[in-house]
Amino acid sequence: MTDPAAVIAPGSRLWDVLDRYDATGLGEASTGDDGSDPVARARLSAAVSEELSWGDVGLAITCGMTRFAAPWIQMSGNNELIERYCSPGVRTIGCWALTEPDHGSDTVSFTHDSFRDPQIKANCVARRDGDEYVISGQKSGWVSLGSIADVITLFCTVDQDRGHSGGGVFVVPSDLPGVERPRPTDKLGQRPLNQGEVVFHDVRVPADHMVIGPDVYPMALEGMLTQGNIGMSTLFVGVARAAYDLALDYARERVQGGRPIIEHQSVQSRIFDMFRRVEAARALTRRVVESQAIAPVPFQYAVAAKTFVTQTAFDVSSAALQIFGGNGLTREYPIEKVLRDARASMIEDGCNEVLGLVAAVRL
Amino acid sequence: MSVMTLPSAHLLDASFTDEDREVVALAHRFAVEVMRPAARSSTA
């Protein structure tokens, strides 16, 4: 497998993919505000997301993150930042730095008392110093695009007396003195998606780079997690469908007992089961996507979709690999890679079990 | 790309306009021609 550092090296295929993605105009085509029906636009965006992740979910997330930073930068009202990173034709890769080496689920458990416990100390803290904030500490190796982002959207603790609930959101250009990105993470799946640690060594940012303060941080975090979970749902419908499509194609080609295995009832039954799982995952996803286009979706609905869809992607991928038999275990066939991609999603953007516990409080 | 080549997964997306279908078809073509080969050859 390719070294994670080689994946993001200058001249790698990753940059060619991003160049060609920009050239398609797909980002604007499915998300631009052209005055059309917002529900129709959201539905189209979900379909595009499904197609891209059907191709490769790691690259689909990468392409999507080229649009992540702009809204946060705009919130700063800092014209210098806006001109540098949000001008037409400028590609700005963003990242969302939330989890920490010692705090994974801690950082998302906003409905639990532990979230407000000042005894639970964060690994990354910003403190006010005159007209600036000074950021010190570390974010985990799971910051997507962390190694290559131009701008870091940093969720970190500001008021330590409030525990993880006393956070803030900062816009941090990655070329500031003191920002260190030691190494990309070597991992099981979604290997085209760079993920890596970000370390802050007394990084100074102007006060206007804090776009969300502690008083509204829990609400902002919930909104971000809701949006992220809906996004994960759209992406992993595509992964589930990719697994189903691969299994169907293989079953039509593979001959055993003198006929294609699709003609064996056991295989037919399993293929249809995969089909209906994909359809159910898409239906639930579309429900939250279309609702979110009109009004904020309550957190528990987004979590229901994310946990259901990612579990479906894993189950369908595993069932697909079983249809491939021994061939599915080899790297000659693509299904093992889809299974690895799907497995990661059950932990990514919140471990499914913990997300369920956080959401259950809202029922 | 012709609207006829839209993946069958979107059979029930009856509300899509022809323009929407072209966008989805473009995304599918990008997935086939760019993303899958890139993932297979050098990054996955």
Q: Domain limits of chain B?
A: 16-44
Query: What pLDDT, in 10s, does the model give residues A160-209?
Result: 999 999 999 999 999 999 999 999 999 999 999 999 999 999 999 999 99
Which residues, 6 or more positions from A347, have their beta carbon under 8 angstroms from its beta carbon?
A: none
The residues, any chain, with a CB within 8 Å of residue A311's CB and separated by 6 or more, are A346, A352
A56 touches chain B (CB under 8 A): yes
pLDDT of residue A30: 62
Tell me the average pLDDT across A16-30: 90
Structure confidence at residue B1 (pLDDT): 40
Secondary element (H or E) of residue A76: helix A69-76
Q: Are residues A192 and A256 in the same domain?
A: no
Is A263 found in the same domain as A188?
Answer: no
Residue B3 has what pLDDT? 43
Q: Tell me how far apart the alpha carbons of residues A332 and A335 are, in angstroms, rounded to a whole number.
A: 9
Q: Which residues contact A308 (CB under 8 A, 6 or more apart)?
A: A233, A280, A281, A284
Mean pLDDT, rounded, for A62-86: 95
> Which chain A residues are closer than 8 Å to B21 by Cβ?
none
Same domain? For A275 and A229 the reply is yes
Nearest CA in chain B to A190: B44
Check residue A35 and give its pLDDT. Answer: 77
* Reported confidence tier of residue A32, pLDDT bands at 50, 70, 90: low
**A187 shares a domain with A234:** no
Q: Look at chain A and count its residues.
A: 363
Average pLDDT over residues A238-263: 98
pLDDT digits (tens, 9 = 90+) for A299-339: 999 999 999 999 999 999 999 999 999 999 999 999 999 99
Taking residues B10-36, what's their average pLDDT?
Answer: 93
> Which of A44, A187, A190, A236 to probe by mutation at the B interface, max B CB count within 10 Å?
A44
Phi first, then psi, for residue A17 (nearest 5°) are -60, -45
Mutate to test the interface with B, among A16, A59, A277 (most CBs of B within 10 A): A59
**What is the pLDDT confidence band of residue B44, given thresholds at 50, 70 and 90?**
low
Which of chain A's residues have a Cβ under 8 Å away from the Cβ of B7?
51, 54
Q: Supply the mean pLDDT for chain A.
A: 96
Contact: A192, B41; criterion CB under 8 Å: no
Question: Which pLDDT does position B2 carry in this prediction?
Answer: 44
Give me the pLDDT at residue B41, please: 77
Q: Which residues form the domain of A321? A: 219-360
Q: Do B13 and A26 touch (CB under 8 A)?
A: no
Q: Is there a single domain that holds both residue A241 and residue A269? A: yes
Residue that terminates a domain, selected from A190, A215, A240: A215
Q: Residue A12 falls within a domain, yes or no?
A: no
A347 CB-contact burial (10 Å; exposed 0-12 / middle 13-18 / buried 19+):
middle
A49 assigned to some structural domain: no
The reply to whether A241 touches chain B by the CB within 8 Å rule is yes
Q: Percent of chain A, pLDDT > 70?
A: 99
- Is residue A53 included in any domain, yes or no? no
Q: How far is the first Cα of chain A from the last one, in angstroms, to the nearest whole number? A: 44
**Is the per-residue pLDDT at A47 higher than 60?**
yes
* Confidence (pLDDT) at B40: 85
As a three-state string, the secondary structure of A33-58 is: CCCCCHHHHHHHHHHHHHHHHHHCHH
Please enumerate in sequence order all residues whose Cβ is within 8 A of that of A225, keeping only pairs 6 or more positions apart, or say none.
A108, A110, A299, A302, A349, A350
In a domain, A45, yes or no: no
How many structural domains are present in chain A?
Answer: 2
Task: Report residue B3 CA to chain centroid gap.
Answer: 10
Q: A192 and A323 share a domain? A: no
Q: Name the pLDDT band for B14 (thresholds 50, 70, 90).
A: confident
Among A165, A198, A215, give the residue marking a domain's end. A215
Domain assignment present for A112: yes
For residue B42, pLDDT beyond 80: no
Query: How many residue pairs from chains A and B have C-beta atoms closer than 8 A?
Result: 100
- Among the candidates A215, A247, A282, a domain finishes at A215
Q: What is the pLDDT of residues A123-167, one digit of tens each?
A: 999 999 999 999 999 999 999 999 999 999 999 999 999 999 999
Percentage of residues in chain B with pLDDT exceeding 70?
82
Does the pLDDT value for residue A261 go beyond 60? yes
Do both A341 and A226 map to the same domain? yes
